[in-house]
Amino acid sequence: MEDVETIKNPDTLFRKDKLAELLGIDSEKLLNLPKEPTEHRSVGIIGTAGHVDHGKSTLTQALTGKFPATYSEELIRGITIKLGYSHLDVIACISKNGSVNLTSNANPNCPESMEKIHIRCNSILDHPGHEILISTMLAGASIIDYGLVVIAANEPCPMPQTREHVMALQALGIKNILVVQNKIELVSKEKALENYRQIVEFFEKETNYSNPPIIPVSAALGINVDLVLAAILEYFKPKPLDTSGLPLMYVARSFDANLPGTDPKSLLGGALGGALKQGQLKVGDEIEIRPGYIDEKGNHTPLYSEIVSIRTDGGHSIDKATPHGLIGIATNLDPSITKEDGLAGSILGNPDKLPPVLKNIHVADLYLFPKIVGARVEMKNYPLKKGEQVLINVGTNINLGIINESSDDEVDISLVRPISMPKGEIVAISRRIEREFRLIGYGKLEY
């Protein structure tokens, strides 16, 4: 693939002896870093994206050692259905002569002759790629910082959900992405190069990402996984930690952590998973969850609790949660309320300090794609119509709505269920196309 520029600085990334230079510090400074961090706290959330069965979950496992699809239906069907959490520890192995090799918590041991140094923690949120699950992908993408787009070398590019997921990343304001050309072990060098050119053409002609870094990989065989780690260090810089402002957490998952048959005296309160968008939360804080519990008639009841404990995506206990990491919060709520993602789509923060609860929303700065990006055949996208049913994603909230009024650049939508989200949040709009909802446009929540 010498005639195609794979990344911005190929000599830096693809030569193993240049990894220390890529890190921006020499081996002596590396040796002064801690072998283990005091806290396994993420410096940025990486979200996978791409068409179904292109290897997103397999790549996540190759990077972190954890296969994110853990539910029985996911394992039976062989696809990701729910959002998957994984924790990434990037580790450097340094030899006496100063050469550096990268590994991770998937293979955390260095050779005896090399010094092991912990470099960085990241959270990885694995998104489903199936066409019927675009709303789940959009919910997850609302809390990520970077996009890891996985494209299989043994299929033409772009496949429908490759295009749809990349447009979703773009719409939600994800600026930094990496592209992994996966499954190179399944094709010849000539076919891999042909697919590579298709990837380059897709990003140049159809996206705002121009020429993102592209790394040929076999996640299943572990080929070039260290180069993906190097690219993560180079292109996904740690997010500045700003804990100012009132705490605001987007809830992406909720569940009952108790095993069947647990003694009633030993029952744990309900658990919430997601990410802080701003501020910080501490163990012992009093919190409110909005809109909270929603009954069959659509009436909502805000919920109040105390934070009992906080854990990272890697299961590490922490006293304080900050932005740019996936977290789980244990509460004293009745676990029957939180089970099976019952509170997913809610927000969490200080009591009486959260945005208002709404059932009718006004979306400004509306942009509709000229074509239906996720369809298998090219289709024109038409303006929204009064009375049309649409699928709405606002933050981690997934909702159905009816168009009340619309114009070229704004739309009023009546929602089936109430939401609570801050003004200015991106509203993704999907329309039913060929029996499935497809992403057709986006705007900003202006109440």
The one-letter code for the residue type at 284 is: G
Cβ burial of 112 (10 Å; 0-12, 13-18, 19+) is exposed
Average pLDDT, the chain: 88
- Say what the pLDDT of residue 74 is: 34
- Say what the pLDDT of residue 79 is: 39
pLDDT in tens, 151-177: 999 999 999 989 999 999 999 999 999
Q: Is pLDDT at 267 greater than 90 in this prediction?
A: no
**What pLDDT band is residue 24 in, cutting at 50, 70 and 90?**
low
Residue 300 pairs with which residues in a beta bridge?
294
Q: Is pLDDT at 389 greater than 90 in this prediction?
A: yes
- Contact assessment for residue 46 and residue 125, using Cβ atoms and an 8 Å cutoff: yes
Count the Cβ atoms, other than its own, within 10 Å of residue 113. 8
Least confident of 37-41, 271-275, 414-418, 423-427: 37-41
pLDDT in tens, 99-152: 788 999 999 999 988 989 899 999 999 877 455 567 888 888 899 999 999 999
Over residues 210-222, mean pLDDT: 92
Per the model's pLDDT, the better-predicted residue between 379 and 390 turns out to be: 390
- Say what the pLDDT of residue 315 is: 87
- Say what the pLDDT of residue 372 is: 87
CA distance 48 to 429: 21
Domains of the chain, first to last: 10-235 (3.40.50.300), 248-349 (2.40.30.10), 358-445 (2.40.30.10)
Residue linked to tokens 């590994």: 103
- Say what the pLDDT of residue 382 is: 93
- Say what the pLDDT of residue 28 is: 66
pLDDT in tens, 249-262: 999 999 998 888 88
Q: Is pLDDT at 36 greater than 90 in this prediction?
A: no
- Contact assessment for residue 143 and residue 275, using Cβ atoms and an 8 Å cutoff: yes
- Say what the pLDDT of residue 4 is: 43
Residue linked to tokens 């309900």: 270
Q: Is pLDDT at 276 greater than 60 in this prediction?
A: yes
CA distance 347 to 349: 7
What element of type H or E holds 306? Answer: strand 300-306
Over residues 45-58, mean pLDDT: 92
pLDDT in tens, 235-251: 999 999 999 999 999 99
Q: Is 5 helix (H, G, I), strand (E, B) or coil?
A: coil
* Percent of the chain whose pLDDT exceeds 70: 89
Could you tell me the sign of the dihedral formed by the alpha carbons of 72, 73, 75, 81, in that order?
negative
The two structure tokens encoding residue 441: 């446009």
Q: Is pLDDT at 59 greater than 70 in this prediction?
A: yes
The two structure tokens encoding residue 129: 């790629």
* Percent of the chain whose pLDDT exceeds 90: 68
DSSP assignment, residue 32?
T
- Contact assessment for residue 368 and residue 440, using Cβ atoms and an 8 Å cutoff: yes
The two structure tokens encoding residue 414: 């009546």
Residue linked to tokens 């057709």: 440
Phi-psi region of 354 (alpha: psi -120 to 50; beta: other; left: phi over 0): beta
Residue linked to tokens 């105390």: 306
Least confident of 296-310, 366-380, 418-432: 366-380
Q: Which residues contact 164 (CB under 8 A, 6 or more apart)?
A: 131, 134, 373, 374, 438, 439
CA distance 91 to 242: 25
- Say what the pLDDT of residue 113 is: 87
pLDDT in tens, 84-109: 889 999 999 988 877 788 999 999 99
What is the end-to-end Cα distance of the chain in Å, rounded? 50
- Say what the pLDDT of residue 307 is: 97
- Say what the pLDDT of residue 265 is: 77
Q: What are phi and psi of 143, to 5 degrees?
A: -115, 5
